[in-house]
């Protein structure tokens, strides 16, 4: 009796595993991809922790003109590189963004799709024949922000490498110029966030930027600038007043 029971349990386990394998083969799954890209900029500083999803674990810069460094940290060679450029305004008409001498914003249309699962769809790169779903980390799945994003391909040519290659090898870094122009004053910060996806020769996604290796541009709101400026002016007035009083 005991042997029969063991056999039945074994048969059930085998059947369960077979069913799971069949389901995995026929169900579209946004599988994790092995490679990692790293974004950084020498014109910014790293924020380890912030309650603001746009700034948390990100290189943050206030520069309106800066170099965005993109590194293939590990994995296979990248032949197609896609930059996700996100803005946090609706309508997002208060900022112009130029990446690698190409205008991304304006126009303020043809935005990418943020899925119900809190991920950003990147149709240019695929996993198992389906559009790659960029993992949501803060700006794509937070209910407190209104994120718009666009996918921009950085055409990998010899101008980045100088060795005749047109692909980004593991351990290699390219530098992409970014120009950001605030178009109007605002009562909230102007923020532009950068993520990236790398694909192989067949446009299959093989690398992405983990949540702790991205870059955000932020122009502080007026009060953020006004308070320290007012403090400095107040101190100047105080010391000037004391100087005249003594004389």
| Contact predicate 59/216, CB 8 Å | yes
Domain segments of the chain: what residues?
1-30, 35-220
**26 band by pLDDT with thresholds 50, 70 and 90:** very low
> Is 210 within 8 Å of 56 (Cβ atoms)?
no
Rounded mean pLDDT of 29-55? 85
- Residue 130: other Cβ atoms inside 10 A: 13
Please report which confidence band the pLDDT of residue 219 belongs to, taking 50, 70 and 90 as the band edges: confident
pLDDT tens profile 140-166: 875 656 788 999 999 998 788 777 778
pLDDT band at 72 (very low <50, low <70, confident <90, very high): very high
b/e sequence 18-34, b meaning 16+ C-beta within 10 Å: eeeeeeeeeeeebeebe
pLDDT at 53: 86
Q: Do 87 and 95 meet the contact criterion of CB atoms below 8 Å apart?
A: yes
**pTM for this one?**
0.75
pLDDT per residue over 98-109, tens digit each?
A: 999 999 998 777
Q: Domain 35-220: give its CATH architecture.
A: Sandwich (2.60)
pLDDT digits 0-9 by tens, 79-88: 999 999 999 7
Structure confidence by residue, pLDDT tens digits, 174-210: 999 999 998 876 666 788 999 999 999 999 999 999 9
Give the pLDDT score at 109: 79
Residue 25 in 3-state DSSP? Answer: helix
The label of the residue with tokens 């192989």 reads: 200
Q: Flag whether pLDDT at 238 surpasses 90.
A: no
Could you read off the pLDDT of 86-101 as tens digits, one per residue? 997 655 678 899 999 9
């Amino acid at each position: 009796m005991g042997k029969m029971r063991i056999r039945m349990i074994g048969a059930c386990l085998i059947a369960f595993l077979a069913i799971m394998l069949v389901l995995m083969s026929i169900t579209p799954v946004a599988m994790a991809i092995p490679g990692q890209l790293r974004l950084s900029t020498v014109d910014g500083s790293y924020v380890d922790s912030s309650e603001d999803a746009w700034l948390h674990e990100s290189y943050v810069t206030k520069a309106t003109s800066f170099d965005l460094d993109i590194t293939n940290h590990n994995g296979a060679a990248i032949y197609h590189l896609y930059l996700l450029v996100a803005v946090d305004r609706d309508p997002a008409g208060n900022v112009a963004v130029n990446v690698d001498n190409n205008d991304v914003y304006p126009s303020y249309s043809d935005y990418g799709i943020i899925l119900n699962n809190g991920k950003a769809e990147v149709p240019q790169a695929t996993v198992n024949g389906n559009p790659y779903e960029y993992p949501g980390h803060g700006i794509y799945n937070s209910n407190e922000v209104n994120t718009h994003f666009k996918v921009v391909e950085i055409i990998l040519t010899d101008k980045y490498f100088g060795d005749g290659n047109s692909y980004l090898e593991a351990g290699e870094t390219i530098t992409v110029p970014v120009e950001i122009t605030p178009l109007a004053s605002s009562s909230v910060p102007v923020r532009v966030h950068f993520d990236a996806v790398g694909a192989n020769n067949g446009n299959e996604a093989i690398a992405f930027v983990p949540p702790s290796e991205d870059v955000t541009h932020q122009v502080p709101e007026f009060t953020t600038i006004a308070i320290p400026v007012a403090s400095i002016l107040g101190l100047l007035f105080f010391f000037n007043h004391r100087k005249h009083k003594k004389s």
